[in-house]
């Protein structure tokens, strides 16, 4: 048997007259009789976690199931989205909703530890002098799928997450109310709310491509100089100093790795905007801009793991752009008042609409043989149930995406056994991403229906 098919290098460019034009991925770049999964076009799975505080209007207000505006019904062709989720209609085949989830780690905490325990399922040690909890789900995933990108993970928020109402006196609450992400049990990661700083994280310093290229080259040469000098110094040090220096060198190498990866990214095919000037005054535009930056980061494969607080725990943010002048946190104490409930539903619906716009961009962006949405798994939800009661059962959460063929598609709402640990949802995410763990918080197993 003869194989006559030739293949192009993935780095092939059209050259002439002193210019080079990079080519997009084409079938000709796949060697004959080579499975796509063995090539550079193999699906690179993305993960994302999108957090909304103050729960959702579900069946557990004083008005009962008739006022449940969160929970979908049915499955497959009979899958019917709720009022809050209606904007997900174009993507409902990718939507899995879950009933009866509980996060026991947050019980009785009001707002203080809701964000951090959403992705951990572990109650913080309130007696510790500093932060003390556990590594969160997003960071475990970043350790497995994020190391090939210049940013192993990206943590963002639509506004500052340091809210006085959520900090709690003397309990270390600010560690747990201001972030979703812990790199390890004692290392909370800040959520960046300034779009300019996020842009610079993604694309490097500088307002345009020319400035960024010059800065990257300058930094790379400085790192080389540091590496040369520290290696020379190492020969003159004693054993204990060598340990200190080795630790320092590890940090330098990691920075160098990320700088080199950033410098090698071919972004010529992406329409990268000018760097934003800073936080936007209009909240709706701020939320939308951050979603746009995240979509671009996924598309350019600058990061594969994202955590996004769409509005802060205990926020006094108003929503005049949708006709709700009330501050979100005070409004969340609805006292079962019908008009206040209606305004809360408008806020929760609007946030879902913004998430749906982001999903549409993911669905319309090719990624190998699939779309970014087909190759991603996103968790959207809250760590509170009825905001007027500050309770944590049942917590409203959904998974959206195909997980590179690992998720059952068609759309469904799964009524789980009562008080199923949210850790089971975490275990399910890890399983779909091919990450094995011995145990997770108080989890009892994966959710087999998805």
The CATH number covering residue 118 comes to 3.40.720
Look at residue 237 in the predicted model and tell me its pLDDT: 76
Look at residue 31 in the predicted model and tell me its pLDDT: 55
Examine the domain organization and report whether 163 and 243 are in the same domain.
Answer: no
Q: Name the band, by pLDDT with cuts 50, 70 and 90, for residue 47.
A: very high
Question: What tokens appear for 29 in the block?
Answer: 């770049």
Last residue of a domain, one of 257, 273, 289: 273
Residue whose token pair is 């109402």 = 165
Altogether, the residues listed in the chain come to a count of 450
Examine the domain organization and report whether 148 and 220 are in the same domain.
Answer: no
Least confident of 67-76, 138-147, 242-251, 392-401: 242-251
Number of neighbouring beta carbons within 10 Å of residue 228 = 10
pLDDT tens across 164-205, in order?
Answer: 444 544 445 578 999 999 999 999 999 999 998 998 888 765
Examine the domain organization and report whether 345 and 379 are in the same domain.
Answer: yes
C-alpha–C-alpha distance, residues 229 and 259, integer Å: 19
Q: What is the mean pLDDT of the chain?
A: 84
Number of neighbouring beta carbons within 10 Å of residue 359 = 24
C-alpha–C-alpha distance, residues 326 and 319, integer Å: 7
Would residue 237 count as lying in a domain?
yes
327 bridge partner residues: 318
Number of neighbouring beta carbons within 10 Å of residue 235 = 7
Look at residue 224 in the predicted model and tell me its pLDDT: 57
Structural domain for 85, as ranges: 43-204+275-432
Examine the domain organization and report whether 402 and 417 are in the same domain.
Answer: yes
Examine the domain organization and report whether 171 and 216 are in the same domain.
Answer: no
Examine the domain organization and report whether 189 and 231 are in the same domain.
Answer: no
- In Å, how far are 105, 313, 434 from 112, measured between CA atoms? 12, 8, 32
- Kindly report the CA angle at 369 between 91 and 201, in degrees rounded to 5? 75
19 bridge partner residues: 16
pLDDT tens across 289-345, in order?
Answer: 999 999 989 998 999 999 999 999 999 999 999 999 999 999 999 999 999 999 999
Examine the domain organization and report whether 279 and 239 are in the same domain.
Answer: no
Q: Are 359 and 373 in contact (CB under 8 A)?
A: yes
Question: What tokens appear for 230 in the block?
Answer: 């520290």
Would residue 240 count as lying in a domain?
yes
Would residue 341 count as lying in a domain?
yes
Residue 129 pLDDT > 90: no
Q: Are 401 and 50 in contact (CB under 8 A)?
A: no
Examine the domain organization and report whether 269 and 347 are in the same domain.
Answer: no
State how many domains the chain has: 2
Q: Are strands 95-102 and 412-421 parallel, antiparallel or unpaired?
A: parallel
Would residue 123 count as lying in a domain?
yes
Examine the domain organization and report whether 191 and 320 are in the same domain.
Answer: yes
Examine the domain organization and report whether 220 and 365 are in the same domain.
Answer: no
Would residue 156 count as lying in a domain?
yes
Examine the domain organization and report whether 231 and 183 are in the same domain.
Answer: no
């Amino acid at each position: 048997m003869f194989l006559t098919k030739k293949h192009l290098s993935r780095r092939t460019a059209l050259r002439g007259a002193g210019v080079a034009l990079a080519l997009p991925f084409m079938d000709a770049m796949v060697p004959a009789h080579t499975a796509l999964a063995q090539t550079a076009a193999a699906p690179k799975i993305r993960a994302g976690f999108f957090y909304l505080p103050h729960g959702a209007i579900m069946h557990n207000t004083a008005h009962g199931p008739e006022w449940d505006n969160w929970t979908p019904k049915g499955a497959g062709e009979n899958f019917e989205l709720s009022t809050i989720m209606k904007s997900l209609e174009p993507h409902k085949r990718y939507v899995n909703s879950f009933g009866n989830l509980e996060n026991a780690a947050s019980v009785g905490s009001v707002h203080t530890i809701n964000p951090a325990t959403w992705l951990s399922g572990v109650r913080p040690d309130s007696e510790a002098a500093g932060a003390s909890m556990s590594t969160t789900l997003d960071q475990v995933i970043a350790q497995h799928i994020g190391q090939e990108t210049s940013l192993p993970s990206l943590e963002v928020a639509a506004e500052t997450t340091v809210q006085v109402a959520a900090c709690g006196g003397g309990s270390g609450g600010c560690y747990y109310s201001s972030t979703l992400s812990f790199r390890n049990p004692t290392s909370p990661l800040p959520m960046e709310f300034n779009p300019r700083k996020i842009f610079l994280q993604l694309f490097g310093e500088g307002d345009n491509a020319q400035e960024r290229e010059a800065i990257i080259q300058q930094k790379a040469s400085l790192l080389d100089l540091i590496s040369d000098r520290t290696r020379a110094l190492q020969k003159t040090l004693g054993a204990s100093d060598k340990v200190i220096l080795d630790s320092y060198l590890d940090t330098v190498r990691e920075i160098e790795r990320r700088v080199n990866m950033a410098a090698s990214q071919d972004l010529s095919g992406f329409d990268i905007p000018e760097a934003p000037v800073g936080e936007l005054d209009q909240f709706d535009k701020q939320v939308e801009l951050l979603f746009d930056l995240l979509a671009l980061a996924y598309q350019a494969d600058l990061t594969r793991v994202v955590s996004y607080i769409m509005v802060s725990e205990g926020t006094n943010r108003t929503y005049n752009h949708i006709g709700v002048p009330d501050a979100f946190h005070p409004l969340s104490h609805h006292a079962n008042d019908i008009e206040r409930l209606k305004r809360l539903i408008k806020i929760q619906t609007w946030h879902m609409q913004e998430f749906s716009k982001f999903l549409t961009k993911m669905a319309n962006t090719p990624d190998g043989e699939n779309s970014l949405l087909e190759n991603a798994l996103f968790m959207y939800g809250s760590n509170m149930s009825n905001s007027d009661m500050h309770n944590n059962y049942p917590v409203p959460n959904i998974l959206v995406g195909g997980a590179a063929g690992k998720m059952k598609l068609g759309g469904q709402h799964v009524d789980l056994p009562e008080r199923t640990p949210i850790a089971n949802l975490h275990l399910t995410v890890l399983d779909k991403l091919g990450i094995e763990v011995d145990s997770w918080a108080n989890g009892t197993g994966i959710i087999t229906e998805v």
